[in-house]
Structure 1
Amino acid sequence: MNKTIAIIKGDGIGPEIVTEAMGILDAVAAKFGHTFTYVDAPMGGNAIDKFGVPLPDSSLATCRNADSVLLGAVGGPKWDNQPAANRPERGLLKLREGMGLYTNVRPAKMFSELSAACPLRADIAANGIDFIVVRELIGGVYFGEHRTEEANGEQKATDIMAYSEHEIKRVARVAFETARKRRKRVTSIDKANVLDTSRLWRKTVTEVAKDYPDVELRHMYVDNAAMQLVRDPSQFDVIVTENLFGDILSDEASQITGSIGMIPSSSMGDGTNGLYEPIHGSAPDIAGQDKANPIGTILAAAMMLRYSFDMAAEANAIERAVDKTLRSGFRCGDIMQENCQLVGCKAMGAEIRSRI
């Protein structure tokens, strides 16, 4: 196959980790007889420096026209003083909206080789961690109205959280379809005892569940869910929730697996053109020092092959190579363990590439 991939290297460690993921994709292409063409799409702080905006129209067009998009990370303290509407992160929100990417899927799976890095008690970690967070991505408070105004002699800030039934239905269907391919359990997270949006969320998800009688549905308040993730993460299979709750819970989920540097994610809409990225930030404190862990980005590339390109064997090859590399004792700094070999970003990419 010939596929065009839009590349957003981004800021901080973004260029380093994306470069290693591209090397892995090149190894897969050579092994399986594919051709991957890479097209740069500047976004984030680097785009602000060059174009004055976090996502130029040309970059959005490049991403829309590509077969898929691979992203590193954006942002950093250099751009903290930008107006709110022009911060690097606004480029990411604009990209999701412009590509119609309404669902984010984040697997939270602990590699057995990294069980010692899990911050939970050993008896809890021994039960295993393997679930998926399905997060609504272009609705809710992040995309609602935001305003700050003077009221009664002081500043007052307001952020609007809004959801419509169709927004909830489409992400719920992704969750149920995903659960059908796993252990057939969906946990819907809301705050229905307080929020009208959550009451609509619960009602709508319950309606969608009627089309999936083979999948078990349960509802859980978000505060309880945050507690249950550290008390017994093995109880979860597929979690579905709205944008803000999903942002927080998926970061919590990533940390209990051992390291946020290991977790990939995919953002999808109605087509096959998705956005794939690690879930960590740009880590400007270690940028350019060859200390970044590229595994999350490499696994994001594997997700791209599986979900956007229908290349399951190729995705499996990457995932097996990562597992073999970890079993061989190679570690980046964030997952370093006793009796293992510390390697940098480039060396980790090379070790995984050699095992494709």
Structure 2
Amino acid sequence: MSDRYSLLILPGDGIGPEVMAEVVKVIDWFKTNRAMPFDIQHGLVGGSSYDAHGTPLTDETMALAQSVDAVLLGAVGGPKYDDLDFAVKPERGLLRLRKEMDLFANLRPAQCFDALADFSSLKREVVAGLDILIVRELTSGVYFGTPRGIEADPTPGNEGGRVGINTQRYTSGEIRRVARAAFELAAKRRGKVCSMEKANVMESGILWREETQWVHDNEYSQIELSHMYADNGLMQLVRKPAQFDVILTDNLFGDLLSDAAAMLTGSLGMLPSASLGAPMANGRPKALYEPVHGSAPDIAGQGKANPIACILSFAMALRYSFAEGKAADQLEAAVQTVLAEGVRTADLMGPEGGQPVSTSEMGDRIVAALSA
């Protein structure tokens, strides 16, 4: 494995450059104080790339993303680009990265920091100490299956009508590789995987359950595996979320479940994510890390954005791309410390108030906590 850590930073649009600037402060701290050998390059994606090059992602930036150990992305999009042709909308740049890097496992942690437990829509006693990881298959399923499209409805009596078609499709190989990712992650956590699908009404769900069980029985029998219908799983997430450790699910249900889990924590500004692919020649996985929040153009440039989700995304990079688990723990603990002191960006200001800070001040406080 290479002794250098190569990173491509793509700040993107809206608040992306602001929150990414705080991540760079954190990276610089680890370079200076822990002698971590980061090689950093910068590029454009989304609307910023379209403005400069007429495309949301250039071939050169795509090639660079394929060559580095990890990509850190801020956010893409904004109303400025709403009237662009679909093929060059900012979001197409992000989707191209995911597709061409073959990032099949999306990791969405839902962690409730003690200082923010009252921000959840659920009672404190339900979410306090919550630590769930949702592993969502990202490159197949109904979002990518064919046939798809909108066409004339051929049903007799429905002349002049249309039909919308999307196909839910999974192969054994696609299911097995994301299942392995979930089991590997569970082995480093509390050793539990709950696989969610709709095997009661969908053949793809039957295959999902059978293949996940096969991987468990033949390769990860030491991990506790349970199965749950996805609709019940969503209900259980808001009833008793602490029962879960790692949730494994497909692309469509993962989209729904991860957004529901996000609200358990109280603020989108707190949620990181990782999208991982197969190992490269140096043993590190293809990887893209990004906060869950969007580009928030309404507050861009005002110093109101919460940089914590982007900073925690870098913590995930430390953990999953660079095997720097202790450093990731240290960074997460620094965030916890700052929040416990009552330091708050605008999105975290609740009825009890707190110390209001700007985006850059929050980054400075987290860096200071690293040094404490």
TM band (smaller chain): over 0.9
User: Counterpart amino acid of 1:132?
Assistant: L
Contact 1:261 1:296 in 2 (8 A): yes
How big is the shift at 1:225?
1.2
CA distance in 2, matches of 1:190, 1:313: 34
Which one of 238, 242, 267 corresponds to residue 230 of structure 1? 238
SS where residue 22 of structure 2 aligns? helix
Q: Which runs of 5+ in 2 are unaligned?
A: 154-158
Q: Tell me the TM-score normalised to structure 1 length.
A: 0.95
| Partner Cα distance (1:157, 1:237) in 2 | 36
Structure 1 residues 147 and 299, CA gap change in structure 2 (3 angstroms): same
The 5 A counterparts of 1:269-308 are: 269-271=277-279, 272=284, 273-308=286-321
Q: How many residue pairs were aligned?
A: 355
Q: Greater shift after overlay, 327-336 or 310-319?
A: 310-319
Residue of structure 2 aligned with 1:334, choices 339, 347, 353: 347
Instruction: Give the equivalent residue in structure 1 for 2:162.
Output: 155
Partner amino acid, structure 2, of 1:218: S
Query: 1:227 deviation in Å?
Result: 1.1
| Aligned-partner SS, 1:47 | helix
Aligned to 2:265: 257
CA drift at 1:149: 2.3
Match of 1:200 in 2: 207
CA contact (8 A) 1:41 1:60 kept: no
Does residue 352 of structure 1 match 2:353? no
Give the % identical residues: 47
User: C-alpha offsets along residues 15-49 of structure 1, whole Å, 9 cap, x if unaligned?
Assistant: 11111111111111110112423222211122222
Name the residue aligned to 2:192. 185
- Matched residue, 2:156: none
How far residue 339 of structure 1 moved from its aligned partner, in angstroms, is 4.2
Contact 1:251 1:260 in 2 (8 A): no
Runs of at least 5 residues in structure 1 that lack an aligned partner in the other structure: none
Q: Does the aligned pair in 2 maintain the 1:16–1:290 contact within 8 Å? A: yes
1:235-246 pair list within 5 angstroms: 235-246=243-254
Q: CA RMSD in A?
A: 1.6
CA distance in structure 2 between the partners assigned to 1:4 and 1:184 by the alignment: 31
Q: Which amino acid aligns with 2:250?
A: E
- Structure 2 residue matching 1:290: 3-state secondary structure: coil
Could you tell me how far apart the structure 2 residues matched to 1:313 and 1:142 are?
37
Counterpart CA distance in 2 for 1:75 and 1:263 is 18
The answer for the alignment partner of 1:33 in structure 2 is 35
Aligned to 1:309: 322
Which deviates more, 35-44 or 340-349? Answer: 35-44
Match of 2:225 among 201, 217, 221: 217
Displaced runs of 4 or more, over 6 A: none
Tell me, yes or no, if structure 1 residue 325 matches structure 2 residue 327: no
Query: Equivalent residue of 1:354, what SS?
Result: helix
- Counterpart of 1:312 in structure 2: which amino acid? G
Task: Please name the residue that 1:87 is paired with.
Answer: 89
1:355 CA drift (Å): 1.6
Q: For residue 310 of structure 2, what is the amino acid of its counterpart?
A: T
* Cα displacement (A) at 1:93: 1.7
The separation in 2 between residues aligned to 1:137 and 1:279, in whole angstroms, is: 15
Tell me, what secondary structure is at the counterpart of 1:267? strand
Question: Which residue does the alignment assign to 1:144?
Answer: 145
Amino acid at match of 2:252: L
The match for 2:20 is: 18
